[in-house]
Chains A and B, each alone.
Chain A
Amino acid sequence: MSTAPQPAGAAPKRKRVRRTPATWVKRGGLSKFLFLLPLLLVFGLFSWYPIVRLVMMSLQFTNLVQPAKWIGLANFSEVIHDPLFLIAVKNTAEFAGLALVFGYPIPLIISVLISEVRKRRGLYSALAYLPVVIPPVVGVLLWKTFYGDSGGIGVFNTILGWVGIHPQEWIQSTSQAIPSLVLYSTWANAGSTVIIYLAALTGVNRELYEAASVDGAGLWKKLWHVTLPQLRTILLITMILQIIGTAQVFIEPWLFTQGGPANATLTVLLLIYDYAFGNSIGAAYGEAAALSLMLVAFLAVFSLIYLRATRAWSTS
């Protein structure tokens, strides 16, 4: 029996301890497991199990009362052939696009302006954040009054009348409904992003601004050459979060228009809701599950592509 030569300097082999339940407990395995258990239970019950059920339901016909029937990919086929599917995708893309063009820069502009003021910065930040703390239902009811959807001509049309502009139909017009929802959404959600940008702005090295000033840079040049490059990681993150959020827009079209007029504000999430709950005999839960999975798959692929494409920009 020979012993294999040990390489010089190599540590002597550890004696293997046989693993038994007792050693597992002794080494703290049980306490780790017990600490992990609540998390596993909560996630399992409220996240993973519903996801598994969703995948199963997308392959079933069920009214949630009688036993479900397996029907393969028929639900996916139904969704793809539904004329409302493309309308919903187009409307969602329009909402996301408008929100990106108009809603995305506004919080940045507001936060830069707030960070520039010397006095009452806290008050301006609070004012910018105020709409976020208003419950969406209350906010929508308020804006319905602004748009004149609760009777009367509406606040906005009254103001437009002062400058000689004819009353607009806002959310009751097929062409103005989506922009009207984007307008509300920007007002309601900008505050959260403003706070994020304000926090990020405090992290920008003041010396960079001083150096830029010495080089003769004005406000615009400082913004373009110092602020934006310094914020680019956070800007890219807020952009992907906004795209993911607007792709799932639901509250605004549901509370303002229920997808109308004439499906002009029917979004993908609203279509999912309609499949699940729009039919009083509950015959399309499977289609709702199928479209949900399609949306998840799209957003996952989009996020991956986005993160890969912007990887180079986001590293400083």
Chain B
Amino acid sequence: MQIRSVKLSSRLRMGAAVAAISLGAVAVGSASSASASSSVSISVASLVPGATAAATAQFNNQVKQFEKANPGINVKSVQYDWTAPTFAAELAAKTLPTVFTVPFTDGDSLGDAGQLANLTKYVKTYSWSKDFDKAAIAEGTDAKGQIVAIPEAAYAQGLEYNRNLFANAGLNPNDPPKTWAQVETDAKAIVLHDAQVAGFSVMGANDNTAGWILTTMADAFGGRMEKGIGAKAVATFDNPGAVAALTFDHNLRWNDNAMGTNFNLSWGTSNQAFAAGEIGMFISGSDVYTNMVQGFNIPAGIYGLAALPQQSSGSGASSPGELGGGTLAAVTPFASKAQIAAAVKWINFFYISPLVTKAGAIRNAKSLDDDNQPVGVPTFPIFSQKIYNQDLKWEEPYINVPETAFAPFNKSILKDNLVPEPEAATQAIYGDLDSVVEQVLTNQNANIPALLQAANSAGQASIAQASASS
């Protein structure tokens, strides 16, 4: 009886196993065919790590809306923060989300090196593809003319200032500095009132941000770090604007002692220190207020933004300008065709439709406002000026950022000369300039022209390397 039962159960088990394998094969087959025909999964860059719960909830709501409007596309949001040292490794290791963002500086270089998916066919199906500002779409177009990244935001550099620290030091928060001499005077006044804070701060970290801010200041002093484009570009670090900018930093650091004690700040840590009330003034993009709210819960009312002072550095200098930049949305080169199609749909929904359609603009602005996220932070047109103005009107009812905070910037920025970032080997050029800034901030006897000349050779080598690798 026992033996018989064993035999029976063996047969049953074998039969069940055969059935299970057959059913499994059928199930797998039908799942793969269903997945190929109707369902696709993509991951998308969401917010920077450490974003507030409200910002995360707002983003997740957008994902739900997208999935509802696009049945068959499953979206997984992934926290993302572009940094030069991690980006290329994450890309090669396939750990980036399907859709991510890169700065204007890297779009065409990555495309030329085959590191981004070709989006041309998918982008051309949208009417807005013809309306891009030519300079903006050029940043996401490779040497073969293929669209490898889609511009989604543009900004100009500005002078971020803490209105509270201004008021405490007896300065008028509605009248931020308009000249570099005033920046110095105000920085000294802030430090005189509170020696624990930095009156004026520049990014000094060895992660390309120090070089980026030096380039910004050099432009504002009438200098240019590079001339020409591509393989023909020439590094021109030793220009009168760069010398003036570094001399300004050196003076505030060593003579005025108005730059605090931390000379190793980067983009994120500058925002954090500013939101914590440790910095009176610093230079960054006109759009960083969003990060300060989402990442650091900046207290309402302390934020102020002004345009950078524009000052010529005499003979041999170019005209002063405000450095501009922007962000591109791109897709991993490892994505399948179905994923690329879904990714471009997401880019259209999340990044582009709020800029070009009334429904998209209102949906985005209302959703942000409902979750107390900033609406109305100054950006720059990536499409035509007409489309940009229309978009501003659509979102006007939802603008919730304090008007007084941005008034000084908005008042003067349109009059200023906007200057693009260096075209060739941009991030490498910034990296070569990092150590110059660090020397000036940490060595009282730094020889500024000699440092710039030495860095210029490295910069020229970086341009040569970039042109060889593309």
CB distance from B456 to the nearest CB of A (A): 12
Q: Report the stretch among B353-361, B378-386, B435-443 that lies at the interface.
A: B435-443
Of B88, B109, B110, B442, which one neighbours A173 at CB under 8 angstroms?
A: B442
Q: Are A257 and B110 in contact (CB under 8 A)?
A: no
Q: Are B263 and A261 in contact (CB under 8 A)?
A: yes
Q: From residue 91 to 106 of chain B, which have CB atoms closer than 8 A to chain A?
A: 91-92, 102, 105-106
Q: Are B89 and A65 in contact (CB under 8 A)?
A: no
Q: Report the stretch among B45-53, B65-73, B199-207, B311-319 that lies at the interface.
A: B199-207
A74: nearest chain-B partner, CB-CB: B468
Contacts of A169 in B (CB 8 A): 442
B457 at the interface (CB under 8 A from A): yes
B105: nearest chain-A partner, CB-CB: A280
CB distance from B335 to the nearest CB of A (A): 12
CB distance from B11 to the nearest CB of A (A): 33
Q: A258-B206, A260-B204, A262-B439 are in contact. Are A61 and B469 (CB under 8 A)?
A: yes
Q: Mark B186-205, 1 if CB is under 8 A from A, else 0.
A: 00000000001000000011
A151 at the interface (CB under 8 A from B): yes
CB distance from B8 to the nearest CB of A (A): 36
B226 at the interface (CB under 8 A from A): no
Contacts of A78 in B (CB 8 A): 465
Q: Mark A66-79, 1 if CB is under 8 A from B, else 0.
A: 10000000000010
A172 to B316, CA, bound (A): 34
CB distance from B336 to the nearest CB of A (A): 16
Q: Mark B264-292, 1 if CB is under 8 A from A, else 0.
A: 10000000010000100000000000000
A161 at the interface (CB under 8 A from B): no
Of B85, B115, B262, B442, which one neighbours A65 at CB under 8 angstroms?
A: B115
Q: Report the stretch among B24-32, B391-399, B404-412, B426-434 that lies at the interface.
A: B426-434
Of A61, A151, A153, A257, which one neighbours B206 at CB under 8 angstroms?
A: A257
A29 at the interface (CB under 8 A from B): no
Interface of B is mostly: helix
CB distance from B301 to the nearest CB of A (A): 22
Contacts of B263 in A (CB 8 A): 172, 261
Contacts of A11 in B (CB 8 A): none
Q: A151-B262, A151-B273 are in contact. Are A65 and B91 (CB under 8 A)?
A: yes
Q: Mark A272-294, 1 if CB is under 8 A from B, else 0.
A: 01101111111110000000000
Q: Are B261 and A151 in contact (CB under 8 A)?
A: yes
Q: Are B262 and A149 in contact (CB under 8 A)?
A: yes
Q: Are A280 and B469 in contact (CB under 8 A)?
A: no
Q: Are B427 and A280 in contact (CB under 8 A)?
A: yes
Q: A66-B113, A260-B435 are in contact. Are A279 and B88 (CB under 8 A)?
A: yes
Of A63, A150, A152, A260, which one neighbours B438 at CB under 8 angstroms?
A: A260
Contacts of B273 in A (CB 8 A): 151
CB distance from B191 to the nearest CB of A (A): 14
Q: Are B278 and A281 in contact (CB under 8 A)?
A: no
CB distance from B426 to the nearest CB of A (A): 9
Contacts of B442 in A (CB 8 A): 169, 172-174, 260-262, 264
A259 at the interface (CB under 8 A from B): yes
Q: Are A63 and B88 in contact (CB under 8 A)?
A: yes
A280 to B82, CA, bound (A): 9
Contacts of B207 in A (CB 8 A): 258
Q: From residue 441 to 469 of chain B, which have CB atoms closer than 8 A to chain A?
A: 441-443, 454, 457-458, 465-466, 469
A65 to B469, CA, bound (A): 13
Contacts of A66 in B (CB 8 A): 113-115
Contacts of A263 in B (CB 8 A): 206, 435, 438
Q: Are A258 and B469 in contact (CB under 8 A)?
A: no
Interface of A is mostly: loop
Of A152, A174, A277, A278, which one neighbours B261 at CB under 8 angstroms?
A: A152
Contacts of B278 in A (CB 8 A): 151
B419 at the interface (CB under 8 A from A): no
A176 to B260, CA, bound (A): 19
A84: nearest chain-B partner, CB-CB: B458
Q: Are A281 and B109 in contact (CB under 8 A)?
A: yes
Q: Are A282 and B115 in contact (CB under 8 A)?
A: yes
CB distance from B194 to the nearest CB of A (A): 13
A148 at the interface (CB under 8 A from B): yes
A249 to B205, CA, bound (A): 20
Q: Mark A24-56, 1 if CB is under 8 A from B, else 0.
A: 000000000000000000000000000000000
A17 at the interface (CB under 8 A from B): no
Q: Are B262 and A174 in contact (CB under 8 A)?
A: no
Q: Are A172 and B89 in contact (CB under 8 A)?
A: no
CB distance from B364 to the nearest CB of A (A): 28
Q: Are B206 and A279 in contact (CB under 8 A)?
A: no
Q: Are B88 and A281 in contact (CB under 8 A)?
A: yes
B87 at the interface (CB under 8 A from A): yes
Q: Are B92 and A282 in contact (CB under 8 A)?
A: yes
Contacts of B428 in A (CB 8 A): 279
B333 at the interface (CB under 8 A from A): yes
A7 at the interface (CB under 8 A from B): no
A280: nearest chain-B partner, CB-CB: B84
- What are 30 A-B interface contacts by the 8 Å CB criterion? A64-B92, A65-B92, A66-B114, A83-B454, A83-B458, A149-B262, A149-B264, A152-B261, A258-B205, A258-B207, A258-B264, A260-B204, A260-B435, A261-B204, A261-B264, A261-B439, A261-B442, A262-B436, A277-B85, A277-B86, A278-B85, A278-B431, A279-B427, A279-B428, A279-B431, A280-B85, A280-B87, A280-B102, A281-B88, A281-B469
Given contacts A64-B92, A258-B206, 18 further A-B contacts (CB under 8 A): A63-B88, A78-B465, A149-B262, A257-B264, A260-B205, A260-B438, A261-B264, A262-B439, A274-B85, A277-B88, A280-B85, A280-B105, A280-B427, A281-B88, A281-B427, A281-B466, A282-B91, A283-B113
Q: Write the residues of chain A forming the contact surface with B, with a CB cutoff of 8 angstroms.
A: 61, 63-66, 78, 83, 148-153, 169, 171-174, 257-264, 273-274, 276-284
The 7 closest A-B pairs by CB, nearest first: A282-B88, A64-B92, A261-B442, A262-B439, A261-B438, A262-B438, A280-B84
